[in-house]
Structure 1
């Protein structure tokens, strides 16, 4: 997978954390941000990789192993109305900084690698470092770092479980993204509870 070993073997970095999110762009459901702190080799040994490269079943299996071997795992669920509050002001990156800062306080590490939502990762990393007082390395394609890959799996599994619970109540509304006609149809027909919808997305994509 091409993990950047030079980033992981510096002797002064004794504890490494990784941060990633799932659900930044859907019309339905929350944004989930996760942090994982642990040993790179151990995490690689249980099969961590970018969550998008794993089947749902494989993600669940690796998720369970990450919970067993990581030094710290935590996540935060950001509900749609909170996402709306930030995006209505064009502050989606600021949302991730605010909630990631809260999350990092729960899992101590010497440095955190973060999958950057900003096209300029150094800008995002500097802002998050300023907000937390912690050493942050923001990267594009951050899942190359095992801790970030593990966090991507945690965030994805948690969000998928929440979406599955919603589907059990209202039916299969598809992917939850505004590009999915099935999702759009369910939303237009009022079949998805209002509190589960990002209304700012409805306006943006004219749903």
Structure 2
């Protein structure tokens, strides 16, 4: 509802996966915020690389409208492929594991492939962040980065909570904002149903 979408990629030699698991890397939703921050910081020291991209709300809205990408999943696929292409310039990649936002993972895999510039084996599954420790690690990096961005935005806009539509504080912020302003703030995902309902659209 508010703030960017962050997509992250963590890449490691295969022999590092057991170490990641032993250190506590897993689905970010199952890790406390302080632990997420600590884990995200140690990745370079254990021989793992990190790339990430923050997708701004205006681009998310553009994709939801189908104007700049076919839909939001294609935008995510393009960003994921961009990270893969970037890493592949310096590191040979054998297999890339991806969490699919599409309920049909094969369809999302094809979307990612359409943006790739290099041949690489893709394992694309729903709930991959729960199944594969490397995807869990990427989810932790993405969550830490988004949380950091959200905290910076609060310095300008005040405390709007997590930015997720399920957060009562975020909802209250949206209601109060629209009492004083005709449009949502620039940091809002204006095409989200939550905003449209408040605007009576």
Q: Fold conserved (TM > 0.5)? A: yes
Q: Assess if the C-alpha contact under 8 Å between 1:128 and 1:136 holds in 2.
A: no
Correspondent of 1:57 among 12, 34, 45: 34
Residue in 1 that maps onto 2:121: 135
5+ residue gaps, structure 2, are none
After TM superposition, give the deviation of residue 205 of structure 1 in Å: 4.6
Stretches of structure 1 that go unaligned for 5 or more consecutive residues are 1-26
Tell me the TM-score normalised to structure 2 length.
0.82
Equivalent residue for 2:74, pick from 91, 94, 109: 94
Q: Give the corresponding residue for 1:196.
A: 187
1:94 Cα deviation after fit: 0.5
Q: 1: distance between equivalents of 2:8 and 2:144?
A: 10
Q: For residue 123 of structure 2, give the secondary structure of its aligned residue in structure 1.
A: strand
Superposition CA RMSD, Å: 2.1
More helix by proportion, 1 or 2?
A: 2
Choose 110-119 or 124-133, whichever is displaced more.
124-133
- Does 2:58 match 1:72? no
Counterpart in the other structure of 1:118: 102
Question: Matched residues in 2 for 1:88 and 1:70: separation?
Answer: 40
SS in 2 for 1:199: coil
**Structure 1 contact 37–73 (Cα < 8 Å) conserved:** yes
How many residues in Structure 1 have an aligned counterpart in Structure 2?
181
CA contact (8 A) 2:27 2:139 kept: yes
Contact 1:32-1:77 within 8 A present in 2 as well = yes
User: What SS is found at the alignment partner of 1:176?
Assistant: coil
Alpha-carbon distance in structure 1 between the residues aligned to 2:39 and 2:148: 15
Counterpart contact for 1:126–1:136, Cα < 8 Å: no
Whether the 8 Å contact between 1:32 and 1:75 is mirrored in structure 2 is: yes
